[in-house]
Each structure stands twice: as C-alpha cells, then as structure tokens.
Structure 1
Amino acid sequence: MIRAFHRWPGLLALALVTILALSGAALSVFPAAERIAAPQAEAGLTVGALAERIRAIYPGVEQIRRSPSGRITAYWFDQGAPGAAVIEPATGRGVASADPNQAERWLTNLHRSLFLGDGGRIAMAAGAAAMLVLALSGAALVARRAGGWRHWFAPLRGPLAGRLHVEIARIAVFGLVLSASTALWMTASTFDLLPDGSVTPAAPAEVSGKTGAALNEIAALRQTPVAALRELSFPYPGDVTDVFTLKTAQGTGYLDQGTGALLSWADLTGWERISETIYMLHTGQGAAALGLLLGLVALGVPAMSMTGTLIWFAGRRGRPRIRGNQPAGRAETILLVGSEGGSTWGFAATLHAALTEAGQSVHVSPMSAFAPHRYTRAGQIIVLAATYGDGAAPASAKGFLARLGATDYAPDAPLAVLGFGDRSFPAYCGFAKAVADAAEAKGWPQLLPLDTIDRQSPQDFARWGRALGEVLGIDLELTHQPVLPRTETLTLVSRRDYGAEVQAPTAILRFALPRTTLWRRLAGTGFARFDAGDLIGILPEGSPVPRFYSLASARRDGFIEIVVKKHPGGLCSGQLTALEPGDAVTAFRRRNPGFRPGRGRAPLILIGAGTGIGPLAGFVRANARHRPIHLFFGMRHPDSDYLYGEEMPDWQEEGRLARLVTAVSRGARPHYVQDALRGDTAALARLIRDGARVMVCGGRDMAAGVTDALAEILAPTGLTPALLKAEGRYVEDVY
C-alpha cells in the first residue's frame, strides 16, 4: 500500500513536481543574493535616526520598508512624481533601484501559478500535495528498506538507480516535507481557507492636531532598532488628523505626528507569528542559508524523478505482474517474498495463480512489509526466501527478522518456509534457515517443514507444491517457467587455454561488448554497466536454468571476460570451453555488490585458486590508483594453469599489483594457497591489523581452508575471520 501511495503521485505529477522543485530551487538564490547586496544598517541605529536621514534627502518620503534580508527601501513623491530606491542606511541616500527583479518575478509567477491565475495556484498546490505524499511515503519505504528508522543511513545494495534514489531521499526528504507542507499552508491562506488571526490597533480616538514632531525625538521611533522595523508609513502631507503607522517584529502602532505619542498598539498575535515563520521557512526570506539549503534539496527532486522512473520500468520488466492480489486483511493465504534479483517473485506469481485457481484468496507482498496484525483472516502464511551472499537477507526481506523478533507473539496462522538457493554455495538457503529457526524460537506453528529449491528447479518447486496441496486439502500442481532477465548475445573474440597437462582444461574467454541503447546506459541495466566481480548468467543449450560465472573485467575494459574450467559432464562448462572465436552465447548480467574491493586506500589481500583468479585479476587490472594489493594465487602447475601469468609481471611493474605469492599443488612438495598464507603470517597479521580488506574467491573447500589458516594467523591479534566478516572486511565469492 505504501509503495502504491509513493509510486502513483510520483508518476502522475512528475512534470508538475519537477517544475515546482526547479523553480523553487532557482528562487532560493534571490534571498541570499539580496542579503549579500543590500546595505546593512549599523549596529544600534534606530528607526528615528534612519527616518531623519532619509527625510533629509527625500523630503516627500511616504514610506520606509525593511525586508527580512535587511534591505531598506524608501518611497516618496517629489513635485507630484513618485520615486523609490534602495537606501544606504549610513547616509539615507538611494543607492540602487527599487524595481523588482524581472527574473525573480517571472520565476515567482511560474512557481505559484504557472501563469494561470487561481487555476494555476490550485494546480501547483496539487503538486505540493503530491510532493508531500511522495516525501512521507518515501521516508517510510527508506526505513523499511534499511531495516528500521534506527538504520536510516545503513549501507545500501542493489541497482545503481535504486541506490541513488534512496541516497538522495535520505538527505532530501526532511526538506521536501518542510517545503511542501509550508506551500500548502500558504495556498490555503491565499484562498482564505485559514483564519486571518491578525489584530489591528484601535483607531485613535483623538489626535493632537499638531504636526512637525522631530522623528528622532519620537519615543517609539527612538527606542525601536532598525533590525526590528517592518514598515514606517508617514502621515499624508497637510492632513493634521493622519498619523504615523509603525510596524515592527512585535506589532503595529499609531503615533501622533505632532507630539509623537503612542496612540494605540496591537501586538503580533501567535497566529501571525506562525504565518510569518511559515513564510520565512518556505521562501528563505530572513533565513537565506536555510533557503539555499532547501533549494539544494529541491534539486534532488528531478534526480529522484528520473531514478524513480527507471526503477518503475525496471520493476515492471523484472517482476512478474501478480493479478488479483487480495488485500492482506481479506486473504486466506499470505505469501511473503524475499528476493534479491527478482527471480523468487516469479515463483510467487506461479504459486499465487495456482492457489487462486484452487479457490484461495491470496495476498503477496515483500517480507520487508511483514505486518502480522493485518493478517486477520489468514489460514496460513508462506515465506519464499532467497539468500543474499553469506546467509544474509535479500533486498525485499530487509528487516523481517527484526520485526519478527519485536513481536510479542507469533501469528496463529501456521507457517511454511521455502528457501531458494544454489547448493554449490556454502550458505545454501542460509537466510531461509534463519527465518525457520527464528519462527520456531517464537513458537510459530508449522504448516510444513523447511524445504529448499536448488538452482530455481521447476521440478523441486512442483514437488514442494504437491506437499503443500496435501496439507491444504487441495490439488496443487505448480508448473513454473523461470522468468529470466533480458538476455543478450555475446560473441567470443579470443580465448586462452590452460590446464590440459594436468587434466583440468581451463580457458580465459573474452567476449565483445554488445551494443546497448542510450536508455540502458542511463538505467545501467544489462551489460551497459558492470564491474569485475559481477556475475554473468549463461543459458546453456538444452537447459532453461542459467549457470553463473564471475566477471574478470569491467565495462571500462572494453570487453567481457570470464574464466571457465571444464567439469566432467558439465553442460554449460562443456559448451563454453568448446567455443571458438566468432561463436556466440546467450547471457545476462547479475550484480554482485557484496563482492567489491570497496573504496579507499586500505590494502587488499586477494586470495584465490584455479578459476577463482578471474574477478581478482579484474580488481588488479582496474587498480589504476596503485592501491596496495597482495595477491595469493593457488595453481596446479606453473607450466599448465598459471592463469594470467603473462599479465602478472606487467601489473607489478605498473604498480597495480604490490605483491604476488603463488602456491603450486602438483609436484614433489604440494603447496596450497592456505600454506602460502601460513608462510606469510607476520606480514598478513600486520596488514589486517592495520585495516586491510580480505577477498576470497574459488572453491568452497579452498575457502574453508583459508578461513582456518587466517584464524590461526590472527589469533595473537585478537581478531577472527568472523569479526572481519561482521566489519565487512572479509568477503567471499565461493562455489
């Protein structure tokens, strides 16, 4: 529901909100410019002294105004001709034209009414209302994605457009709420929808009938500093019944022009003070720094509009449309989805359709929207949970475990948890297992035992569906066709072969970059933007299930490169290692933001064996800033599978690679990469103690050995691999 409240005002009022924000940002500059340019009154100058100076220069002065910026403007008549000027307070003389800035006037009319009068004012008010809804709903969505309000600035992951959208929103949302709400207040005041609340002084019962009081001798003028002045209006010449009208930051009063006596006074009401404060907050008049800050915030609106549109289009392409989704309060079955790349939503759509056809009313939502108090009619709750990285929650499940832990009791409706993952990874369905364990600890009744789906297997899903149908007492056949990202054709341009001598055929395959559209470049989808360490999904002939390989190159390298080892009976590896230059494969890119070198100058310790060298070589190749990189690489024999052996000396000479340590496992004295680590204990302990980041890529057995070796190395320092992982300084990409 919150997502819909956020999406539709943004899409429907996109142009209006953008105009409102850009014109507001432009207008925010003028109060600051006026504050800088306006001559300021010296400290201690009173209204009486200022008025004397001005009247000495302009005897026909009728009014003196002081704007919130401190600019003083005088208006007069000279031989029947009106005049006006910005005043230098020190002399009382005009120093600049008082005519309004034409650009400011044009922008103000655009901002307030689109040059359309009252109808335009109503339209812009609707734009402000849409902006307020967007800001409030966006804040709720940011908190949900971050895992709660306390984690507002938690690190993000996901596509670039989504991360930019949230990063800007984190900073801009408070300013946008302020700007939009004050705009609505001012519009309501313009159309008299709010009470006036102002009080004017009582009309003087009698005046002295005299004229000519010295301005600097009038007590009220002599005691009022210029900084408090709003406006001083002079009596009409020759009219002995007229009076001075003094408006200040405290109120309004009438002064006798002959005696200077205060005839009546009315303090500024609380309502007037609120109105003035709201005007100041919205326009920046009297608070130039705040105005500039809100103007900068407003510039985030067009950026969020663009990224939001990209997110919407990407969501429509990447997530299947679930038709007939019932409200949570009326659904018999609740489906909660935890997905990182979007594939789990496809399984949810298949399950939703099958349950609906069987007569169930079903509600589907992300796990991050878990709200058990809303599931008033639920007979069962089903969680479909993928796993991110080393057992972490995927993007759409952020905060689920925290919400479950915070509930006083588990829902009455029994729970079934289905995990999605890849058995080749050590943390296979780790998050789903964590959900099942947390539910059991909470006393949540079980509908089905925890089950898992390996590599998006439609057969596993159908088997689980039959078990679910038996428990529900319905005939449930789940026929799932995986929804894959948009694929592209990659053409092989070169290959380098290794490993034949040790019966482990391995190849470095380099593909040409596919052509990409401007839209995909802006959106950063497909191969329009990628980094070493991202994953390439390749669809082998004869299988609908993709196989994933780590990229050894980035977009800026100008090619797509992977390292592939041929496995006995391996469908995809067999096809890839048989490719010749000019052959093509069908592939797509999947982000892998958890396996990145990170920013900064902290040293990198890269550890890999066999084909695990691929992304590590990509990191070294990209190290143009000469960050200290220490590479530990395990191979079978340097004469057969020394992958990237030709490039290593060049990278060292160029300063991209600080140190290379190799381990050879075939020969008279087998030496593995974990042995190489133990042989460098002192240097490694020093590097890690000083902040180095460890990155491991390769087989899970190798990764386990590396973890054990580092645990031994770090024991004297008080550090552990688990602690480094918790700090984000130890990351793995293992298979």
Structure 2
Amino acid sequence: MLRILHKVPGLIAAILIVVITLSGTVLSVLPAWEVVAEVPSRPEAGLSVATLVDRIAITYPGVEQIKRSPSGKITAFYFDGGQPGAEVIDPATGIGVGPYQRSGFARWMTNLHRSLFLDDAGRWAVAADAVSLLTLSVSGLMLTARRVGGWRHFFSRLRGPLTGRLHVEVARFTVVGLLLSSVTALFMVASTFELIPEAENPPVFPRVVSEQTGAAPGTMALLRDTPVSALRELTFPYPGDPTDVFHLITYTGEGYIDQGTGEVLIWANAGLWQRVNETIYMLHTGQGAALLGVILGLMALGAPFMAVTGAMIWLQSRRARPRIKGNTPAGQADTIVLVGSEGGSTWGFAATLHRALQEAGHKVHTGAMSGFRPERYTRAAQVIVLAATYGDGTAPTSAKGFLDRLAALPQAPVMSLAVLGFGDRQFPHFCAYGAEVARLADQKGWTSLLPMGTIDRQSPQEFARWGHALGEALGHPLELSHSPMIPQCQALTLVSRRDYGSDMQTPSAILRFALPQTGRIARLMGRGFGKFSAGDLLGIVPEGASVPRFYSLASGQADGFVEICVSRHPGGLCSGQLLALKPGDSMQGFLRPNPDFRPQANAKPVILIGAGTGIGPLAGFARSNRPGREMHLYFGARHPDSDLFYGEEMQDWQGDGRLASVTTAFSRTETRSYVQDALRNDAARIARLINDGAQVLVCGGRDMAAGVAEALADILAPTGLTPALLKAEGHYVEDTY
C-alpha cells in the first residue's frame, strides 16, 4: 500500500509538481534578493515610527500611508499636486531612493504558483498538488525507513542502482522542506476559501473622536514607543476630514490614534490565531525570513529532481518486465509461476522458467504473487514462487498481499510448492522475504516440492543449478539457460599482461586493456564506456556464450586503463579466452557499476582482505588511496614465487604511504597459512582498527570469505561487535565469487 500511495500520486501529478515547486523556488528566493538588492539601508537601532514619519513628511508632505514589507523595505504612498505617487524610502533620511514598482515578473510568477492563471479552479488544482506532495513526502519517508532497516538507520549508506540511490538521497535531505511547504500551502488555500476560522476580530473604527486636527505624529506617544522594526502599516487621516484617524498596524497589534489629541482611541493586541497565520505565511513564502526562504527554495528543487528520477525508476521497472509468451489461463495450467519483484529483474528469470517448462510439456501460467488465488488453480499440480526481497526483508512490489492471503487460507492448497528466493548476500536480510514465504507455507502444512533455493545477485549459474533440482522433482530434465539483457559492448584491446601461477599449475594473469575512447555526445546519450572506479565490474561476453562473466576492476578511469586479474578455471570458457589474449588482441566488454564495494568517502582506516585474483579491486583501492589515509592489506596466495600479484607495487605503495601495512599468507609453503590465519595473528590491531571505525573490504572466493568472517567474529567477540552488525552498518562489505 505504501508504494502505491507513493507511486500513483507521483506519476499523475509529476508535471504539476514540477511547475509548482520550480515557481515556488523562484518566489522563495525573491525575499532574499530584495534584502540584498532592493532595501537601501537598515534603520538605526531604536528608530521610532514617530521619527520616521517626521523625516518622510519633510520630503512628502502629502503622505497618506507608510508600509514596511517583511524584508524591511519601507514605502511611502502620497499625493503631490493631485497626482498619486509611491517611493521606496531610505529610513535614515526619509528621502526616496526610487519609485515603488512591483516586479511584473514577481506578479506573474505569483499568479502561476497560486492559481496557474486559472483563478479558483487553479487554486483547487494547486491544493490537489499540495496533497499529492504531502502524500509523496510521508510515504517516501516511510519507504526510506523500511528500505534502510528502520528509522535509526535513516541516513545510513544506500545500496543499489544509481538512479534509485540518487532519488532517495535527495529525498532524505529535502523532505522536511517539502513537508513544510505542502502543509503550509494547504493551510493558505483553506484560508483563502474560508474553510478555517477567521483570525480574531480586529478593533472596530472608533465611534467617538475629538474631531480636532493638527497633532504632529512626533508627539504621539504610541508612535514614539513603536520601533520601525515592528511596523507593518501606518495610514494617515484623510485630509480635511476631522472625523478620520491614524490607523497603525504592527506585528504585535492594531489600533487607532486621534489626529487632534494624539491619544490612542482603541488598541487590540495580536491574538494567537493571527500570529499562527503570520507564521505560516512566513514559513511558506520566506517573507520576513529571507534565509529560511532560500533554504526552503533549495529543498523545493528536490521535488522536480525526484519527479524525473522517480519516472526513470518506473520506466526501468516497466522495461525490465518481459512479456510472457503463451501464458496459459490460470484455470487451465498445471504449473503456476508466481513472481515477487521490485525492480523487474526477477520477471526475466520467470520468463526463462516459463519457456523451459513449456518446452518440457507443461501448461504454465505466470503472474504476480499479488494475484495469488489458489481457488482458481483448479488443474494445477504445483506452484512455483520466485520471490525477491525488498529492503529489510519486506515484500517487493508485485508480491503485496501474498502473505496475508496465504495466512487467511483455511487449509493449505492441494498442489505442491517450490520457493526460490532472490537477493544479495552482502545485505543482512538475504532472501528474507522468500524465507518468510517458505516458513509460513510450511506452518500451513503446504507440501514442498523441493527445499527453498536461493539466487545471489541474479546468478544465471545458480539459477541453472536450481533448475536441475526442480527438474528432478518434476521427473524430467529441465535446463534453465537464463541470459540477462547484455548492455552495448565495447572492444577492449589488450596492451600488456603479467603472467603468474605457472609453477602451481594455475595459470593467471593481470590483464591491462586500453581505455576505450568515447565521445562526449555518446557519453551523454548513455552509450560507450562510461566512468568507472576500482571495484566496479567488467562484463566479458566470451565467444560461443550468451551469458557474461564479471571481473572486478583493479583500476579506475583516472588511471587511464582497464585492468583485471584472471585465473584459469577448469573448463572455464571466459577465463580460457582471456588468458589466450596477446597484446593487440581484443575482447568485447561492458561496465556494470558496483558502488557498494569501495572505500567510504571519509578518513577512517580501511582493512583490505583478499586471496588469489581477489587482490584486483583491492590493488585498485590502494593505487587510488591518498597518502595519509590508513589502509592495511591482508593478502593470501599459494606461493610468493608464483602468485604474488602486485608484489612490486605493494612495496611502492607502502613506501609512499598509500598502504600502511601489507600482511601476506601462503598456503603452499613450509609455513602453510591462510589469510584468516594472518588476521588471527594480528587480532589486537584488527580489533583496534574496527573499534576506531575502520571499514572492512573482502574480495575472493566464498570459502575464503566464510573463513574471514569466522575469524573476525572470534576477534571481535570481546568487543560485542559481529560481522553481521558491521555489514548492516556498511562497515563490512564482501565481493565474492
């Protein structure tokens, strides 16, 4: 429900929100501009209204009204020879510094912002826009809290695609201003249409006056006691009318003064409701609080930015959902495939499964988990659930309501169930939603077709292995060859290579490719080789394959080359082709950002832990490290004479301060040890660094990563910290294979 509340108003009102927030930004900055550029000077401290009136009256004897704007600009309205005039006044002299003239641009922008030039109909449209903005702000706050794992982690580091991260990042720092603007806008619209009570009644015009004239304003006690800083408006009696009076309005109250005696005829202090109205007006417009207006204006700019990024996220999710060909109606299918997806990628796996099951002779219906209706599956023998996990373990968009419907069933469905969870092991709630589906189904007594499976980071290989298990459960072979959409590739030309591992019969190499040249226009259009950093992924599509293999980059764009570490895997198609390259040869490749795996942008220490070719991105981090930031490398290999990648560079990086220390462990020497042994031997320093806020970055095989996690758990046990807690805080990040 939260996502619907957030998505629907945003899509419908996006254009209107952009218009209203941009015009509001301009209007909110105008008070600050007026303060800087238009107000001639500030009145001296303690200057009274009486003194100001005396100064103005010398130059403009026909003055009939004096106004002071919230920004401090003082304007005198007068008649001279029967002709009206208006001048902006320098309060220090009482002399005009220029004619008063309201900006036509400001007037046009105000009408656009308040009513879209459509009078009352436009005001109602603006009110609806404010409701949409308020709904988006509140639902966005709650969705962000859910995504990061609760309100305590509201400002924690974000993970995921760049567009989504930018959308949330901007929202986190602008939502307060958007909430304030939308709430105050609704209040002002309600006040305009008299939907809320009026302010307290102002003082009525006095019935009894002296009918005398001639008292000088400078002699009037109330004007002497009122500082110019409190003035809003002073209206003079109509010339020649002894029954008229002075009318004074200040920020503290309002009253009338006899023009003959100078006595206060009636006075009413500003009530609470009036002060509330004025405060809301100030908060919404910035009038009287120029700095606040600028801040709110800058925050308002977040709305059009989020409208654009939100639309991009929606379009990306739509494009990521493939059309299911030959989708059998649910009542006629023997196999039901239900999909729970947030960004759309899980639908691609569902399409592959749907196609493979059809080729195996099944009648398959594929749909969203939110459409779960077991009473419709009259011919189904099995239900297969593909469930991604959103945020801290909650249901993804297309799975809303599934658990509630399952819990409400009086008994378990008669068909069998298979659950496959999709997630990322770097997150603390890996496949948590899929696990919750499996747990509740088991609690209901729903028969399992096979144990729950998991897919880490959309791995086609893991999906294929799970497909074999599903085929065995169904009683026939099932080949799941999932090929994610491959981005446009660039030719990468090898310029140099350094070979390792020959003595250990494990050929490996550091391969350096020339940086592909991409024109500026092509980059703007999203084509070609984009910007990258060490830790991002290089996708290589080997000849004779449709699925890319990914290698962590050991270089950043600033290095001027593309570098990876490759080790030969038995039967490895891609690694074999890469290691067969000679300088001058080329391979097709593309970039995939991996923004979660890199040192945080702070001065805290960094602990780099890797083994084998996992040294690649760690070497890239060391190469780009600034001297002075404490960075420690723990590296495991087979033998120092055969597998010590970047051995010479490590010495250089230690020499110039980019690495504070290098600790190695070799598994094929007389003193056989692994990288986790090196960590245990250095337990005191590891614990101190992590207690000081160090970030841990681990890259290499999963068995190595599991050993590292176990070693760190033992090292940190006395401190009360755990690897899981560090992961949740973004201080422990893995890139494993």
TM-score by length of 1: 0.79
Seen in structure 2, the aligned counterparts of structure 1 residues 251 and 599 have a Cα distance that, compared at 3 Å, is closer
Shift of 1:62: 0.5
Q: Which secondary structure state, in structure 2, belongs to the residue aligned with residue 239 of structure 1?
A: coil
The answer for the alignment partner of 2:653 in structure 1 is 651
Q: Is the Cα contact below 8 Å between 2:130 and 2:183 reproduced in 1?
A: yes
- Distance, in Å, in 2 between the alignment partners of 1:351 and 1:133 is 38
> Could you list the per-position Cα deviations for residues 53-89 of structure 1 after superposition, in whole angstroms to 9, with x for gaps in the alignment?
4334432221111222333322222333434333444
Q: Is the Cα contact below 8 Å between 1:418 and 1:451 reproduced in 2?
A: yes
> Could you list the per-position Cα deviations for residues 400-421 of structure 1 after superposition, in whole angstroms to 9, with x for gaps in the alignment?
8xx99xx999823459563357
Q: 1:288-367 to 2 correspondence within 5 Å?
A: 288-320=290-322, 335=338, 337=340, 343-348=345-350, 362-364=367-369
Q: Which secondary structure state, in structure 2, belongs to the residue aligned with residue 637 of structure 1?
A: coil
Matched, 1:666 2:668: yes
Shift of 1:631: 2.2
Letter in 2 for 1:699: G
Matched, 1:456 2:454: no
Q: Which secondary structure state, in structure 1, belongs to the residue aligned with residue 287 of structure 2?
A: coil
- Distance, in Å, in 2 between the alignment partners of 1:582 and 1:313 is 40
Shift of 1:244: 2.4
- Distance, in Å, in 1 between the alignment partners of 2:80 and 2:429 is 87
Residue range with higher mean Cα deviation, 159-168 or 79-88 = 79-88
Q: Is the Cα contact below 8 Å between 1:343 and 1:482 reproduced in 2?
A: no
Letter in 2 for 1:456: P
Shift of 1:22: 3.4
Q: 1:476-555 to 2 correspondence within 5 Å?
A: 481-494=482-495, 495-514=497-516, 521=523, 527-555=529-557
- Distance, in Å, in 2 between the alignment partners of 1:427 and 1:25 is 38
Q: 1:569-584 to 2 correspondence within 5 Å?
A: 569-584=571-586
- Distance, in Å, in 2 between the alignment partners of 1:243 and 1:145 is 64
Seen in structure 2, the aligned counterparts of structure 1 residues 676 and 169 have a Cα distance that, compared at 3 Å, is closer
Shift of 1:166: 0.7
Q: 1:229-268 to 2 correspondence within 5 Å?
A: 229-249=231-251, 252-260=254-262
Residue range with higher mean Cα deviation, 703-712 or 425-434 = 425-434
- Distance, in Å, in 2 between the alignment partners of 1:359 and 1:609 is 45
Seen in structure 2, the aligned counterparts of structure 1 residues 731 and 118 have a Cα distance that, compared at 3 Å, is closer
The runs of 5 or more residues in structure 2 that have no matched partner are: 328-334
Shift of 1:359: 9.5
Shift of 1:156: 0.9
Seen in structure 2, the aligned counterparts of structure 1 residues 410 and 259 have a Cα distance that, compared at 3 Å, is farther
Q: Which secondary structure state, in structure 2, belongs to the residue aligned with residue 627 of structure 1?
A: coil
The answer for the alignment partner of 1:27 in structure 2 is 27
- Distance, in Å, in 1 between the alignment partners of 2:554 and 2:78 is 77
Residue range with higher mean Cα deviation, 277-286 or 45-54 = 45-54
- Distance, in Å, in 2 between the alignment partners of 1:427 and 1:197 is 54
The answer for the alignment partner of 1:390 in structure 2 is none
Shift of 1:165: 1.4
The answer for the alignment partner of 1:431 in structure 2 is 431
Residue range with higher mean Cα deviation, 512-521 or 579-588 = 512-521
- Distance, in Å, in 2 between the alignment partners of 1:588 and 1:165 is 25
Q: Is the Cα contact below 8 Å between 1:161 and 1:523 reproduced in 2?
A: no
Seen in structure 2, the aligned counterparts of structure 1 residues 350 and 714 have a Cα distance that, compared at 3 Å, is closer
Letter in 1 for 2:180: L
Seen in structure 2, the aligned counterparts of structure 1 residues 637 and 598 have a Cα distance that, compared at 3 Å, is same
Matched, 1:67 2:69: yes
- Distance, in Å, in 2 between the alignment partners of 1:266 and 1:717 is 65
The answer for the alignment partner of 1:604 in structure 2 is 606
Report how many residues are paired.
705
- Distance, in Å, in 2 between the alignment partners of 1:126 and 1:426 is 42
Q: 1:18-417 to 2 correspondence within 5 Å?
A: 18-35=18-35, 37=39, 39-41=41-43, 46-89=48-91, 92-95=94-97, 97-101=99-103, 104-105=106-107, 107-108=109-110, 111-112=113-114, 128=130, 131-186=133-188, 199=201, 201-218=203-220, 220-221=222-223, 224-249=226-251, 252-260=254-262, 273-320=275-322, 335=338, 337=340, 343-348=345-350, 362-364=367-369, 384-385=386-387, 395=391, 397=393, 411-413=407-409
Q: Is the Cα contact below 8 Å between 2:167 and 2:309 reproduced in 1?
A: yes
The answer for the alignment partner of 1:419 in structure 2 is 420
> Could you list the per-position Cα deviations for residues 615-669 of structure 1 after superposition, in whole angstroms to 9, with x for gaps in the alignment?
1111112214452322233333333333223433443344333333333433444
Seen in structure 2, the aligned counterparts of structure 1 residues 692 and 651 have a Cα distance that, compared at 3 Å, is same
> Could you list the per-position Cα deviations for residues 582-640 of structure 1 after superposition, in whole angstroms to 9, with x for gaps in the alignment?
55445444443443222223332322222121111111122144523222333333333
Seen in structure 2, the aligned counterparts of structure 1 residues 348 and 638 have a Cα distance that, compared at 3 Å, is same
Seen in structure 2, the aligned counterparts of structure 1 residues 112 and 322 have a Cα distance that, compared at 3 Å, is farther
> Could you list the per-position Cα deviations for residues 542-568 of structure 1 after superposition, in whole angstroms to 9, with x for gaps in the alignment?
444443332222233333322221122
Q: Which secondary structure state, in structure 2, belongs to the residue aligned with residue 647 of structure 1?
A: helix
Letter in 2 for 1:245: H
Q: Is the Cα contact below 8 Å between 1:338 and 1:397 reproduced in 2?
A: no
> Could you list the per-position Cα deviations for residues 122-174 of structure 1 after superposition, in whole angstroms to 9, with x for gaps in the alignment?
77666656544543443343334234455432321112222121111112122
Q: Is the Cα contact below 8 Å between 1:343 and 1:484 reproduced in 2?
A: no
Q: Is the Cα contact below 8 Å between 1:421 and 1:456 reproduced in 2?
A: no
- Distance, in Å, in 1 between the alignment partners of 2:106 and 2:30 is 7
Residue range with higher mean Cα deviation, 256-265 or 228-237 = 256-265
- Distance, in Å, in 2 between the alignment partners of 1:153 and 1:608 is 29
- Distance, in Å, in 1 between the alignment partners of 2:559 and 2:201 is 71
Shift of 1:509: 2.5
- Distance, in Å, in 1 between the alignment partners of 2:468 and 2:498 is 42
Seen in structure 2, the aligned counterparts of structure 1 residues 309 and 468 have a Cα distance that, compared at 3 Å, is farther
Shift of 1:121: 6.4
Shift of 1:498: 2.0
The runs of 5 or more residues in structure 1 that have no matched partner are: 326-331, 366-371, 387-392
The answer for the alignment partner of 1:557 in structure 2 is 559
- Distance, in Å, in 2 between the alignment partners of 1:299 and 1:260 is 51
> Could you list the per-position Cα deviations for residues 365-394 of structure 1 after superposition, in whole angstroms to 9, with x for gaps in the alignment?
6xxxxxx9x9999999975345xxxxxx66
Letter in 1 for 2:215: A
- Distance, in Å, in 2 between the alignment partners of 1:316 and 1:514 is 31
Shift of 1:284: 0.9
- Distance, in Å, in 2 between the alignment partners of 1:209 and 1:124 is 49
